[in-house]
Amino acid sequence: MTTFPPQPPIGAPGQWSFPLPSTSTLSNGIELLTFDQPGQHVIAAHLVLDLPLGTEPRELEGVATLTARTLDEGTRKHGGEEFAELLETEGAGFGIDLSLSGTQAVLDVPATRLDRALELFAEAVREPALADEDVNRHVTLRLAEIEQSEANSAQLASIAFRRAVFDPESRGARMNGGEPDTVGGITPDEVRAFHARHYGPHGATLILAGDFSSTGDPVALAERCFGDWTNPGQAPVQHLPIGPARRQVQIIHRPGAVQADIRLGGYAIDRFDPRWPAITVASYAMGGAFLSRLNAVLREDLGYTYGIRLAFSPLRSGGSFAVQGSFRTEVVGDTLHRLHGLLDVSEKPFTNAEVADAVTYFTGVSPLRYATADGVADQAATHVLAGLPHTYVDSNLDALRAVTPDDATTAYAELVDLNALTLVVVGDADLLAEPIRAAGHPDLEVIVRD
Amino acid sequence: MTAALKLDYPIVQRTLDNGLRVIASPDHGVPSVAVNLWYDVGSRHEEPGRTGFAHLFEHVMFQGSAHVGTAQHIALMQAAGAAVNATTWFDRTNYFQTLPTGGLDLALWLEADRMGTLLDALTQENLDNQREVVKEEKRQRYDNVPYGDVMERLVELTFPADHPYGHTTIGSMEDLNAASLEDVHTFFRTHYTPSNAVLTIAGDVTAEAAFARAETYFGHLPNVPAAPDPATAPLPALTGVPRAETTADVPAEAVYLTWRLPARNHPDFDAVDLAFSVLGQGQTARLHRALVRRLEHAEATGANAMGLIGGTSFGIAYARARDEVSPETLEQDLITEIAQLLEEGPTEIELRRAKAQFERHWLHELARIDSRADALGEYATLEGDPSLINSRIAAVNAVDTDRLVTAARTWLAPEARATLIYRKESA
């Protein structure tokens, strides 16, 4: 017979702060943020351009994505496949990320090869060839990618949800990579013109993170690669607001689907709203933790789903939130019915314990999340894109620690209006339309795609 | 060529009296610690008619134990600031949490409690509930996704039905339905023993403190002999080009080729892995250049080797067709490229590139204490030596053109493949 030791207490967490960058300005005005992280042998370089997707002309949506995807398909110095060969031979990974807030080019490379890789990275951004055949191929590949996305139930639900929740006049309502009606008509000339008009040093930030002990001075390297970049024709950028759409309740018919993907939510706030810390805590308690109110009942008690969550997704200004999950067809009606009760906090405000657990969770996972070069560089890029200060992570954690249960309940009740939720379901409408209507959504619209 | 970095992550090992292997890897860079347990049990250890058990069991492990309530493992860990999860694969089931150092004792206590007393708390109700959750997982990740059944079809083509790798980890729903509480008890007693596990503690704790705590929380568990691994003599190469076709609601037609490859610890494996990298990894890979760029027959291509420990691994090359291109054309394109690589070998620069890409991938894998702890557990469990994580880059860099060509000709011959084709449902 063995004796089990008693459950041990938890010791106080150690001191931790998000690292502050060394800042400098290259001779052409590019802001340089450097994070020195000993032991991080893979360097992350993020070039953040003040180039939000809203910059695309309505009739050319997708042009920003096609431009970015063609950057590493050859440069004026190293044409065709030669460029990618050079970059990959340095062990480098090149990526791009486009959002409603801005554009990033990302380089990951072992520190021992940073010098040459950063030169090539700069070459791709500054002087890509954007050749006809490469652009045209990326148009075809983007169209194929859209077909793949729309064939995937969860992705289709997310595409339909953004269309239902953001102002249809705004860029936010449509896929980041553009939709078939505009992508299909984009020409290589338009891609080259987009690059010429919008890629330049003005408003750009370069972020370098990792262990520079073997690389030489990162500031000098950045100056050598980017300091003489000019573009007198670079157009000024406007960040257009993205507002809400009118409420919608719809099912997208997917005949024979064995599960339905549910998105239930609405328009919401950004990180500058004073309620942001409170809603962060509230949404974790409602649908972020494993034993959140939603997952505890719908997964752990009832076995209806592999997982359900509630998440708030901030934009630079405004944002959205959604309850999301996949449910087997037979239980969708009951799930929606139960959600109305579970999501209502008027009789069941958030508790001290729920708030305390949320705060220790967010505080506890931060050191790990930001332990690597790419983790730090990615967060620093988020700050730049959202217009937040370098100290945001620490100040946000302080603000989370100050949230009371009342704050969480009040913010939640203000932001999650149970009578105004937009619902998107992707599933078999023949089987689901009636149960969804009966679960309190009589205004359900059935959408049949061709 | 730039010299690769020499890695020297600290690794200290000790085995408790009950057979539990403990690995400590101190790293005081951040005030966090990773607690990672690899159990030497995966879908390859499942009995016929009992497929999907290892994975169902992974779910059951979160349903409480003698001193821990249902689902409280994750709840207590998240409330201590932990990122926590578990996965099941052909060769393993791993459980992991990474959290502020002050929660190390609690993490170890929770893992020890379920290793020692899981069956005290397991009820029919918990088992039934998690069976439903697993069915939802299968619907969400496999049944309701285009090409979601690809892995199942590929292993069925590549391995005999009764081979340990002849079925996927998600298993058959009929088998899961048949699982009784008694089956689950037997599975636990057979595989969830201290001597069948590796505990890795990486992060902000000294090796001595890590071992002392491992002793405190796990030392009192009894030593139970571990179940032997299934007998897995290497399979011979495929012959006669086995073929399968399926017609499905997929957005593009596709072709997948598979091969039987050497086990992950076989001297040829790294060379074969590099050959797959030259063929199918990155934008300058041969398949992408030929099928996507030059011929414009494919919208996507790829190739990779899946390393397994039980005698035989497998490798895949695939392409998804652009409109108007038949899967048969794509299959021929793939074979042409593979035959050419076998015939002439990689260029010097291609080999260098594949090694450089491996180096970045591996450095990235070791950059965080959680993935580093997992790599330590992996190499200790499957290859008996966690210190291999420090020498992987050197081992891969040691493969020269001759070794790659010889290995590729041995294992990757077009006539030793199997072929799976996806056709679109006609409108």
Q: Is the pLDDT of residue B1 over 50?
A: no
Our CA-based measurement puts residue B141 at a distance from the nearest CA of chain A, in whole angstroms, of 9
**What confidence tens digit (pLDDT) does each residue in B378-421 have?**
999 999 999 999 999 999 999 999 999 999 999 999 999 999 99
Query: Which amino acid is present at A81?
Result: E
- Cα separation, A382 vs A373, in Å, equals 14
**pLDDT at B3 (0 to 100):** 57
Share of residues in chain B with pLDDT > 90 (%): 92
Dihedral over alpha carbons B248, B250, B253, B255 (to 10 degrees): -70
Strands A31-36 and A205-210: parallel
Cβ within 8 Å, pair A290-B78: yes
Name B231's Cβ contacts closer than 8 Å, sequence gap at least 6. none
Check: CB of residue A301 under 8 Å from CB of residue B129: yes
From the list A41, A35, A46, A40, the residue with the least C-alpha distance to A107 is: A46
The three-state secondary structure class of B33 is strand
Respond yes or no on whether ipTM tops 0.90.
yes
Check: CB of residue A399 under 8 Å from CB of residue A242: no
**pLDDT at A294 (0 to 100):** 98
Locate the DSSP E strands across A283-382: 308-314, 319-328
Both tokens of B105, joined, read: 């004792």
The three-state secondary structure class of B284 is coil
From the list B79, B97, B86, B98, the residue with the least C-alpha distance to B32 is: B98
Our CA-based measurement puts residue B303 at a distance from the nearest CA of chain A, in whole angstroms, of 17
Write out chain A's pLDDT in tens, 450 residues: 467 889 999 998 888 999 999 999 999 999 999 999 999 999 999 999 999 999 999 999 999 999 999 999 999 999 988 999 999 999 999 999 999 999 999 999 999 999 999 999 999 999 999 999 999 999 999 999 999 999 999 999 999 999 999 999 999 999 999 999 999 999 999 999 999 999 999 999 999 999 999 998 999 999 999 999 999 999 999 999 999 999 999 999 999 999 999 999 999 999 999 999 999 999 999 999 999 999 999 999 999 999 999 999 999 999 999 999 999 999 999 999 999 999 999 999 999 999 999 999 999 999 999 999 999 999 999 999 999 999 999 999 999 999 999 999 999 999 999 999 999 999 999 999 999 999 999 999 999 987
* Count of other CB atoms within 10 angstroms of residue A189: 11
- Cα separation, A362 vs A397, in Å, equals 8
DSSP state for residue A74 in the 8-state scheme: -
The three-state secondary structure class of A105 is strand
pLDDT range class, residue B41, cuts 50, 70, 90? very high
Cβ within 8 Å, pair A91-B357: yes
Tell me the chain A residues in contact with residue B60 when contact means C-beta distances shorter than 8 Å. Answer: none
Both tokens of B27, joined, read: 């790293």
**What confidence tens digit (pLDDT) does each residue in B261-320 have?**
999 999 999 999 999 999 999 989 999 999 999 999 999 999 999 999 999 999 999 999
pLDDT average, residue stretch B26-37:
96
Which site among A1, A2, A10 would you substitute to test the B interface, given the most B Cβ atoms closer than 10 Å to its Cβ? A10
pLDDT range class, residue B25, cuts 50, 70, 90? very high
Our CA-based measurement puts residue B103 at a distance from the nearest CA of chain A, in whole angstroms, of 5
Cβ within 8 Å, pair B217-A5: yes
**pLDDT at B426 (0 to 100):** 74
**pLDDT at A13 (0 to 100):** 86
Our CA-based measurement puts residue B24 at a distance from the nearest CA of chain A, in whole angstroms, of 18
**pLDDT at B229 (0 to 100):** 85
DSSP state for residue A58 in the 8-state scheme: G
* Count of other CB atoms within 10 angstroms of residue B249: 12
- Cα separation, A42 vs A112, in Å, equals 9
Tell me the chain B residues in contact with residue A327 when contact means C-beta distances shorter than 8 Å. Answer: 136
Our CA-based measurement puts residue B16 at a distance from the nearest CA of chain A, in whole angstroms, of 15
Name B33's Cβ contacts closer than 8 Å, sequence gap at least 6. B98, B99, B100, B101, B103, B104, B107, B201, B202, B203, B204, B205, B369
Both tokens of A445, joined, read: 């619209």
Give me the sign of the Cα torsion angle B259, B262, B265, B271: negative
Cβ within 8 Å, pair A291-B71: yes
Instruction: Check: pTM over 0.90? Answer yes or no.
Output: yes
Crossing angle (nearest 10°) for helices A352-369 and A392-401: 160
Check: CB of residue A350 under 8 Å from CB of residue A285: yes
Tell me the chain A residues in contact with residue B223 when contact means C-beta distances shorter than 8 Å. Answer: none
Q: Which of residues 380-439 of A touch B (CB under 8 A)?
A: none
Cβ within 8 Å, pair B357-A306: no
Q: Which of A14, A303, A364 sits opposite B82 (nearest CB)?
A: A364
Our CA-based measurement puts residue B87 at a distance from the nearest CA of chain A, in whole angstroms, of 14
The rounded mean pLDDT for chain B is 95
**pLDDT at B4 (0 to 100):** 59
- Cα separation, B380 vs B373, in Å, equals 11
Cβ within 8 Å, pair A4-B220: yes
From the list A333, A13, A31, the residue with the least C-alpha distance to A203 is: A31
Tell me the chain B residues in contact with residue A357 when contact means C-beta distances shorter than 8 Å. Answer: 75, 78-79
Backbone φ, ψ for residue B219 (5° rounding): -60, -30
Check: CB of residue A248 under 8 Å from CB of residue A164: yes
**What confidence tens digit (pLDDT) does each residue in B309-363 have?**
999 999 999 999 999 999 999 999 999 999 999 999 999 999 999 999 999 999 9
- Cα separation, B375 vs B373, in Å, equals 5
Tell me the chain B residues in contact with residue A35 when contact means C-beta distances shorter than 8 Å. Answer: none
DSSP output for A214-267: TT--HHHHHHHHHTT---TTPPP-------BPPP-EEEEE-TT-SEEEEEEEEE
**pLDDT at B6 (0 to 100):** 81
Tell me the chain A residues in contact with residue B292 when contact means C-beta distances shorter than 8 Å. Answer: 137, 141
pLDDT average, residue stretch B31-40:
97
